[in-house]
Structure 1
Amino acid sequence: MAEEPAPGEDGPPRWLDPMAATLARPDESPSGDWRFERKLDGVRVVAYCDGDHVRLLSRNRIRQEDVYPEVVDALRDGLALPAVVDGEVVAFAGDVTSFELLQQRMHVHDEARSRRSSVPVTYLAFDLLWLAGRDVRSLPWRDRRTLLEQVLEVDEAVRLTEVLEGDPDVLRARARTEGWEGLIAKRADSTYQGRRSRDWLKLKVVREQEMVVVGFTEPSGGRLHLGALLLGYHDGDRLRFGGKVGTGFTAAVLKDLRARLDPLEVAVPPVDDPPREPTAHWVRPELVTQVGFGEWSAAGRLRHPRYKGLREDTDPAAVVREEPPA
């Protein structure tokens, strides 16, 4: 996706493609000049800041200012120069970030989104793309990070990610002990590339996967609204069935999901290989969920998945099975 031109000589660009990390192999340990950050369990947001005017855009260009107004206020006050900052909005449960807790900002009616939520959030900034009329993406990561530290004033709503150094295996062990999702490894001399790159690596401790919602089943027993979500993922030109998830929901989430899914119902399954589900309702593949899981089965389905929340920052067409390169 090509970037759009800047609206004026000194104003920030309208859009810059975010850089994405590549999933590392379980036994892969980067060697050389790398830095590490905690892998965050939140929503990726790029902030376009020009004085009093702040735009927050998700990976799929959805505006986020009404969802996170305190982040807008903090960036407006904390940046003395026009800038484009990359980061992630998170909600903390103790010392770890919680995507489930952040969902309380999403499972609300649209008319309520302009109001501040009782769930506090923090924007954790980790990169600088543009500053005061200059595109800095061609600078090494270490220099962009230094500039970011110089121009961003932090407070409760906006902070910088912690940069970690050391042996990646030792840091992985720390991630397991402290309940992190994993690590992001960044090559210190790497440029900012608006695509997926091996200059950034995901060193995961917990297995997670984005999946497209392709349907749902009717509830049974004492459950209300729906039983399980039917999931899919793209495999080339195919949309394949990837299993179903029936755990991890609250009653409020089940009610909200059913309200979102009913208008999307279709008669024909959107997946090429639909399972036999007597109470299945099929839907247009427009919603994306994040799930934790144990492993993939030989048939390409998730084992022991657990619902973590909807991802409103992900294009359903971009959801594929995430595996490390051979």
Structure 2
Amino acid sequence: MRLTFIRPMEPELVEQPPKGDGWSHEVKFDGYRTQLIKDEDGIRLHTKTGIDWTKKYRTIAKEAAALNADSFIIEGEMIVTSDAGFSDFHALRSAIARRPQDLYLVAFDLLYLNGQDLRDMPLSERRDVLQALVPVGRHIQFSEALPGTGDAVYHLACEATLEGIVSKRLDSVYRSGATMNWRKIKCYVEAEMDIIGVQREAGKPAMVLMAEKDRYMGGAFVTFKADKRQALWDRVQGKVGAPPPKGLKKQKVEWLKPGLVGRVKFLKGEETLRHASLKGFRDESD
């Protein structure tokens, strides 16, 4: 029987980890979601959207062929690790192209095994079977659950500068698409960026628009108290009047001349600012 790609189950992004003991908490690895299939036609590895990347992941495919099962569908995250041992998303693309032997597949779920569809089994049971299938110390690794409450695991993950955690209901069955039975909780980071514009509309939260090395990063909410907010607007007033940056001719934006720098807090591991807030600012002309 030829197995086909199954559309992934997707965790919802939430602000806080769930409470209670009915949850499993895993590290949120910073890589490419990957589905590993073995059937009578051999080994295939698919991206999150179902594209066949077996040739790119040939070292993982070779190792997968040695797993002790006739057929399976394993879900995992393809990663490469940094010198510190953390998943390094920025190094992943070059590793795929030039150093495929450095890739690891962190396996976190098992959807099918030896002719049996496991998606109606509780997550805890699927993971027990998966852990028994995956040998220790290879490039296909089992994603261990972290001990402790959601709050404690999340705190430790952020202290360790990880991207965040994924919390999953232990009794959850596998269903394709977005679900609150799986939740991802990302850690926040802070960085300084240039404030290039301001959006102030009546009845809406004020926002500053940020750029890093001339690359537009998105907006950050201004949540200062009245006196600090007024100090920011005073600085802004002296810099209003710059032309809109290329490709950013937004309505109702006051574009600013260079010099105003903001310290912004935002979700780690995103291409642009998400859930971002302005924490401080300085004027480089001072």
TM-score normalised per structure 2: 0.66
Per-residue deviation, residues 93-133 of structure 1 (Å, max 9, x unmatched)? 12211101112146xxxxxx5xx527711000000001111
Q: Determine the structure 1 residue equivalent to 2:11.
A: 21
2: CA distance between counterparts of 1:30 and 1:23?
16
Identity, in percent, stands at: 25
Query: 1:49 corresponds to which letter in structure 2?
Result: K
Q: CA deviation at 1:33?
A: 1.1
Per-residue deviation, residues 148-188 of structure 1 (Å, max 9, x unmatched)? 12223344311101111311111111112211111111111
Q: Determine the structure 1 residue equivalent to 2:37.
A: 48
Q: CA deviation at 1:296?
A: 4.3
Per-residue deviation, residues 46-76 of structure 1 (Å, max 9, x unmatched)? 0111267111111111111122211111111
2: CA distance between counterparts of 1:131 and 1:294?
38
Aligned pair partner of 1:291 in 260, 266, 271: 271
Alignment: residue pair count: 217
User: How has the CA–CA distance of structure 1 residues 292 and 279 changed in structure 2, closer, same or farther, with 3 Å as cutoff?
Assistant: closer
2: CA distance between counterparts of 1:170 and 1:248?
38
Aligned pair partner of 1:37 in 26, 31, 44: 26
Q: CA deviation at 1:142?
A: 0.8
Aligned pair partner of 1:67 in 36, 42, 56: 56
Query: 2:46 corresponds to which letter in structure 1?
Result: L
Query: 1:179 corresponds to which letter in structure 2?
Result: T
Checking the alignment, whether the CA contact within 8 Å between 2:106 and 2:142 is kept in structure 1 is yes
Q: Determine the structure 2 residue equivalent to 1:96.
A: 86
> Could you say what secondary structure the match of 2:65 adopts?
helix
Q: Structure 2 unaligned segments of length 5 or more: list them.
A: 190-208, 216-242, 249-268, 279-286
Q: CA deviation at 1:81?
A: 2.5
Indicate the structure (1 or 2) with the bigger Cα radius of gyration. 2
Checking the alignment, whether the CA contact within 8 Å between 2:80 and 2:91 is kept in structure 1 is yes
2: CA distance between counterparts of 1:188 and 1:295?
28
List aligned pairs for 1:141-290, cutoff 5 A: 141-206=123-188, 246-247=212-213, 277=244, 279-280=246-247, 290=270
Q: Structure 1 unaligned segments of length 5 or more: list them.
A: 1-7, 107-112, 208-242, 250-275, 282-288, 299-326
Checking the alignment, whether the CA contact within 8 Å between 2:47 and 2:53 is kept in structure 1 is yes
Query: 1:147 corresponds to which letter in structure 2?
Result: V
Checking the alignment, whether the CA contact within 8 Å between 1:79 and 1:153 is kept in structure 2 is no
2: CA distance between counterparts of 1:47 and 1:123?
9
User: How has the CA–CA distance of structure 1 residues 294 and 136 changed in structure 2, closer, same or farther, with 3 Å as cutoff?
Assistant: closer
User: How has the CA–CA distance of structure 1 residues 88 and 245 changed in structure 2, closer, same or farther, with 3 Å as cutoff?
Assistant: farther
Give the CA RMSD over aligned residues: 3.3
Q: CA deviation at 1:244?
A: 7.6
User: How has the CA–CA distance of structure 1 residues 25 and 132 changed in structure 2, closer, same or farther, with 3 Å as cutoff?
Assistant: same
2: CA distance between counterparts of 1:160 and 1:173?
22
